[in-house]
Amino acid sequence: MRIAVLNRDRCQPKKCTYECQRFCPRVRTGDATVIIGDDGKPIISEELCVGCGICIKKCPFGAITIIGLPEELREMETHRYGANGFALYGLPIPQKGKVTGILGPNGIGKSTAVRILAGALKPNLGEENPSWDEIIGRYRGSELQEYMRKLSKDKLLAVQKPQDIDLLASRSSKVSEFLKGVDERGMLNELLTRLDIEHVLDRRLSELSGGELQRLAIVACAARDADFYFFDEITPYLDIHQRIKAARLIQELAEKRTIVIVEHDLAILDLLADAVHIAYGTPGAYGVITHPKGIRVGINEYLRGFLPEENIRIRPREIKFEVHAPRVQKGIPPLVKFDAFTKKYPGFVLDAKGGEILKGEVLGIVGPNAIGKSTFAKVLAGVIMPDVGSIDLKVKISYKPQYLRGVDVTVETLLRSATKELGTSHYNTEVIVPLQLERLLDQSVAELSGGELQRVAIATCLSREADLYILDEPSAHLDVEQRTLATRMMRRFAENNEVSILVVDHDIYMIDLLSDRLMVFEGEPGKRGEALGPFDMRDGMNRFLKSADITFRRDEDTKRPRVNKPDSRLDREQKAKGEYYYQ
């Protein structure tokens, strides 16, 4: 089966010579594959297309994609956005009393699937306007048949925590006004307390931090009384302590309700979900959602990049984890040494002990939110000055801040301002391809999504000539694939260029794959912070995880870190040994 996809946002008829139509080999037979629609944009006949690929090569905007799919997917088409639009195949199966996860890259149809399950979008089965009887008939004999029947009669009440919580920050109303009317289960005060967010009730939404907005959005969703709950990414802006609390809250909510969650933090998804659907395909073109899999089996298959049941490879290579944490070789000279310093704010003080960053190493920084990690990074980068002590690293530094802003220039213009290597094969191989920026170069930075902006920011930071690169939360808004590619790219960049990288992040998988050593921040969030280390990976992770009161084990097959169930046998044994980060 062959499908054609046209990215209508990229297609620009006013600048086009329609070579996709003129050079189609079927034009000469009078039976053209490509015709021009009323809107001036191409329409590709999937029945006549021979898959020669000429239209793809001739399109100057990279707007056309021709994809060959297994014939058995023809009867699985769930929804399609018009002629040559994005196509979704399959749906997740919500199960009452369980948390069902969806794992896959961005732009693959996860949000479309959830909108269908929530009743916000009627599936069209790839046709013009199918009846509900036809839709219900498509799922006859499956668990989705009764679900669709309830949807057709408006007998399902669904609530959703959106992915983009930044939109809340644009509101000027008070938190108490925002929460008015959501306490349908009489649980609001308890939920606020459990997520440590009760102190913001009298503040305005525009004054809240990203972590506060995220927890508030989770509370607002969980406080509703519904049949179906959908949580789209609960971990961005939250530290490991807050992620664990949110996961446990959602697990309790699922005891009598139906919950579907999309999450890119594999450690939290592993802890939270009972089953997982893998979503694969080509972002922006088509997506396939598999049948449910056990959470451990599903994540491991996803990491290997091969789905045995479907007999399909979704990634050219597997994601591997080291059995032992990376070890720093003796004799490596320090790139920089920094003295102890103190930075004070009203109600908060950060004390940092002196330390050193080795040449060519990646130094990870972990700790709770509001403990001073970003402040520490800003001091080292020279963005702010300490109140006690002085910092003069005497090396070139490139800094990527935690919160990003789009500017009204193209991605290509922004990257050219950072490097002269743009356009060379070396730069393309080392930066553009790993960060998947090929199709973003002619787009405005101001119009990018959160994940696209993050990848551009990483590229811009690493494109500058420097000795030390400081990146604050590079995993934010990235899916698992993008995090893995970015991690490998940063790791290789440090090794090949003999430069040092300092990374602040909450994603344990990224820190585990990326770091040579760790700095651990402790203290009382919002009041005082202390920067400790650097430690080797084992000592640093043990110290960090002990403060969070959680233990990790290695998966037997993939060696990935997995969170132990609280008070389980392994959890108790590791805590007794002091091995929170199990090797």
Give residue 113's pLDDT: 92
Task: Compute CA distances 582 → 302, 319, 323, 567, 577, whole Å.
Answer: 23, 19, 10, 16, 10
According to DSSP, the residues that pair with 35 across neighbouring strands are 43
Distance CA 316, CA 332 (A): 34
569, two tokens: 């046998």
Distance CA 487, CA 406 (A): 23
Could you give phi then psi for residue 410, rounded to 5 degrees? -75, 160
Give residue 394's pLDDT: 86
Higher pLDDT, 76 or 134: 134
Nearest alpha-carbon partner for 247 in 227, 267, 228 = 267
Residue 177: DSSP 8-state: H
According to DSSP, the residues that pair with 288 across neighbouring strands are 89, 280
pLDDT digits (tens, 9 = 90+) for 349-372: 999 988 999 999 999 999 998 899
Q: Which CATH fold would you assign to the domain 350-536? A: Rossmann fold (3.40.50)
Give residue 437's pLDDT: 94
Q: What is the mean pLDDT of the chain?
A: 88
Q: How far apart are the first and last CA of the chain?
A: 47
Distance CA 581, CA 583 (A): 7
The share of the chain scoring above pLDDT 70, in percent, equals 97
CATH of domain 77-309: 3.40.50.300
Q: Any idea which of 22-31, 446-455, 458-467, 519-528 has the lowest mean pLDDT?
A: 22-31
Nearest alpha-carbon partner for 267 in 292, 303, 231 = 303
Domains 2-68 and 77-309 share a fold: no
Asked whether 309 and 291 are in contact (CB, 8 A), the reply is yes
Distance CA 9, CA 62 (A): 11
pLDDT digits (tens, 9 = 90+) for 486-513: 999 999 999 899 899 999 999 888 898 8
Structure confidence at residue 323 as a pLDDT band (50, 70, 90): low
Is the pLDDT assigned to residue 72 strictly greater than 80?
no
Distance CA 70, CA 294 (A): 25
Is the pLDDT assigned to residue 570 strictly greater than 60?
yes
> Where do runs of H (alpha helix) occur along 366-422?
373-381, 411-416
Give residue 29's pLDDT: 64
Give residue 477's pLDDT: 86
| Identity of the highest mean pLDDT range in 7-11, 20-24, 68-72 | 20-24
Asked whether 227 and 257 are in contact (CB, 8 A), the reply is yes
pTM as predicted: 0.84
Is the pLDDT assigned to residue 47 strictly greater than 90?
no
Residue-range domain boundaries for the chain: 2-68, 77-309, 350-536, 549-583
Across 97-121, average pLDDT: 90
Give residue 44's pLDDT: 83
Structure confidence at residue 23 as a pLDDT band (50, 70, 90): confident
Give residue 76's pLDDT: 83
Three-state DSSP class for 391?
coil
Structure confidence at residue 283 as a pLDDT band (50, 70, 90): confident
DSSP string, 4-33: EEE-TTT--GGG---HHHHT-TTGGGT--S
Give residue 583's pLDDT: 59
Rounded-to-10 torsion of CA 206, 245, 274, 74: 10
Rounded to 5 degrees, what angle do the CA atoms 508, 307, 440 make?
60
CATH of domain 2-68: 3.30.70.20
The share of the chain scoring above pLDDT 90, in percent, equals 49
473, two tokens: 């939360």
Rounded-to-10 torsion of CA 185, 190, 191, 192: 130
| Identity of the amino acid at 416 | R
Q: Any idea which of 60-69, 101-110, 355-364 has the lowest mean pLDDT?
A: 60-69
Helix-strand-coil percent breakdown of the chain, rounded to 5?
A: 35, 20, 45
pLDDT digits (tens, 9 = 90+) for 27-38: 666 676 888 877
